[in-house]
Chain A
Amino acid sequence: MQKLITFHSFRRGAGKSTLASNIAALIAQSGLRVVVVDMDLQEPSLHLFLGLSNQDFTLTLNDYLWRSQPILPAVVDVSVGLDVFNPGRLFLLPASDHAKDIMEALRSTVDFERLSCGMNELSDALQTDVLILDTCAGLNENTLTTIAMAHTLVEILRPLQQDYQGTGVTVEVARNLQLPSVCLVLNDTPISLDFAQARQELIDIYGFPVGEIFPHSDEFMSIASTGLFINHYPAHPITHQLREFSKRLLAE
């Protein structure tokens, strides 16, 4: 069975979609077949990171979940320009950013059986090795479902008290659900902070390993969610960090 990695944060703006898209691309570059799914049905944005506008696709995950449309036609191959190593491939299953669809997603829970069947179908048809789910922030029935399905949960937080508190709740949920692997990522960390001390504090507080600590970066901000950081800055130290982190995620 393919490995399922869920990217989640308790609070918005922690960098879920940024990290999920860049990690997905790096895994594809390494020669694996990856599907990244925009499960952030309330604030879909993954397509922007992968260089698409909402004019570039007609079907979405929403159509599959709530309008009985097939899942495969909604998948977009976004490997072009990624310099992927054969047979690597990166596919995106986008979510709709139309107001009506977002409202529909807000009032409904995802049909777990349909979602499960869809994931299995993607896995079989596209021969994927890794499935990455980019969830919405916070905890509700939908995010809990995508967390429970994960082989690895990547829980992202920033060095803010509100993030620390909320992450405590998610970590407790992950423990209750006995997830095979949980890894914390501290993102947008001021470079004045002692990273080694921050890492130890997170381990002490939450009892889970810290996958990576990413420093605050003006370059990240300057991209403004238009494309992948690893493409804009292939030689940047953060790109190197992302690459090493993606390798560790696969090894877990």
Chain B
Amino acid sequence: MSNKIYDELIREIEALPEGEGLSMSDLLEYPEHLRNLLTWMMRDRGVELEDICSYLKVEEAHANFMIGLLDKKNLIEEVKSEKEQYTVHMKLTHNYRVPKKIWQVFDP
């Protein structure tokens, strides 16, 4: 059985465009339920399916469906570990936009 928060979460995920991963500045702009879910996943540093079921109070099939959606939007990835775990997929970006010439000075 699903619930209201889960249903809203699914709508929030479906409304997002497919991206190359999550940036923290994007995360701060996300709707509440999705932002809370992803922050929780970051804090737990790898969550299992049953953790998601318990966090959202839904059955495995619903949690699996949501994982599929998050994966499709490139927001999560499987953790390389013995257990099947998921964490957020952060986009690797540059912190500062500095001309390449300046960086090249420090390159070997």
Contacts and interface: CB of A to CB of B under 8 A. Distances in A.
Interface stretch (B3-11, B12-20, B23-31, B65-73): B23-31
Interface in A2-24: 4
Interface string A20-64: 000000000000000000000000000000000000000000000
A67 interface: no
Contacts, number: 83
Interface stretch (A80-88, A147-155, A223-231, A243-251): A147-155
Contacts of B96: 106-107
A79 interface: no
Nearest to B94: A107
Bin chain B's interface residue count: 20 to 34
A108 B94 contact: yes
Given A109-B92, A111-B90, A140-B95, A120 B46 contact: yes
7 tightest A-B CB contacts, nearest first: A144-B24, A112-B90, A116-B45, A103-B106, A177-B39, A148-B42, A141-B24
A105 B27 CA distance: 22
A136 to B, nearest CB: 10
Given A120-B45, A148-B42, A149-B45, 11 more contacts: A4-B43, A112-B42, A112-B87, A113-B89, A140-B95, A141-B23, A141-B95, A144-B28, A151-B43, A173-B28, A180-B43
Nearest to B24: A144
B107 to A, nearest CB: 9
Interface string A198-229: 00000000000000000000000000000000
B94 A113 contact: no
A112 B46 CA distance: 11
Interface of B: 23-25, 27-28, 35-36, 39, 42-46, 77, 79-81, 87-90, 92-96, 98, 103, 106
Bin chain A's interface residue count: 20 to 34
A145 B90 contact: yes
Contacts of B81: 117
Contacts of B98: 106-107
A177 B103 contact: no
